[in-house]
């Protein structure tokens, strides 16, 4: 095919060897914090893109343009979901404290895919643990990867 029939966007990605970031096929549920994170990413990337364009840095432009497309898509299909105050069952956006068979307690907050960070205590709503917890109450048991966890506390507050 003649280069005349290729899109400029395709040639930008080829310059940097950059492929598209895959967009999840799951519902894009977000917390208020998650929605703000998306907005912040978009603002930062627009600023970075402007600087890269002024410098003529085609490689940086390709990478930032790809990331802008990803975050724009995530913003367009974001569904803000706030847990119902006082809910007695596990829902998106809630904090859940679990106790394992060994007596060890862990706390997770169930959030959107882009804001999940297990090292900071948040897991994606499509993770096996979150899926096992949804709809359960304090005292119920959830089994994940052959281990049982008892739900000992729920929190609907944004900060846990």
**6: pLDDT strictly greater than 60:** no
Q: What does the alpha-carbon distance between residue 90 and residue 138 come to, in Å, rounded to a whole number? A: 9
Q: Which residues pair with 80 in a beta bridge?
A: 30
Q: Where are the alpha helices (DSSP H) in the chain?
A: 8-16, 32-55, 58-76, 128-133
Q: What is the pLDDT of residues 57-78, one digit of tens each?
A: 999 999 999 999 999 999 999 9
Inform me whether the pLDDT recorded for 14 exceeds 80: no
Task: Report in angstroms the alpha-carbon separations of 3 from 7, 100, 101, 107.
Answer: 9, 60, 62, 54
β-pairing verdict for 147-155 and 95-100: antiparallel
Q: What is the pLDDT of residue 157?
A: 64
pLDDT of residue 128: 96
């Amino acid at each position: 095919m003649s280069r005349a029939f290729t899109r400029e966007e395709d040639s930008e990605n080829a310059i940097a060897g950059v492929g598209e970031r895959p967009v999840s096929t799951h519902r894009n549920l977000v917390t208020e914090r998650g929605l703000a994170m998306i907005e912040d990413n978009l603002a930062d990337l627009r600023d970075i893109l402007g600087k890269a364009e002024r410098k003529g840095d085609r490689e940086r432009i390709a990478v930032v343009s790809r990331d802008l497309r990803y975050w724009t898509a995530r913003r367009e299909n974001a569904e803000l979901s706030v847990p119902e105050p006082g809910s007695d069952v596990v829902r998106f956006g809630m904090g859940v404290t679990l106790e394992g068979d060994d007596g060890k307690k862990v706390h997770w907050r169930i959030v959107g895919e882009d804001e999940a960070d297990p090292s900071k205590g948040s897991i994606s709503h499509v993770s096996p643990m979150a899926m096992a917890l949804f709809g359960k109450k304090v005292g119920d048991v959830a089994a994940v990867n052959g281990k049982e966890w008892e739900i000992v506390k729920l929190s609907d507050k944004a900060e846990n």
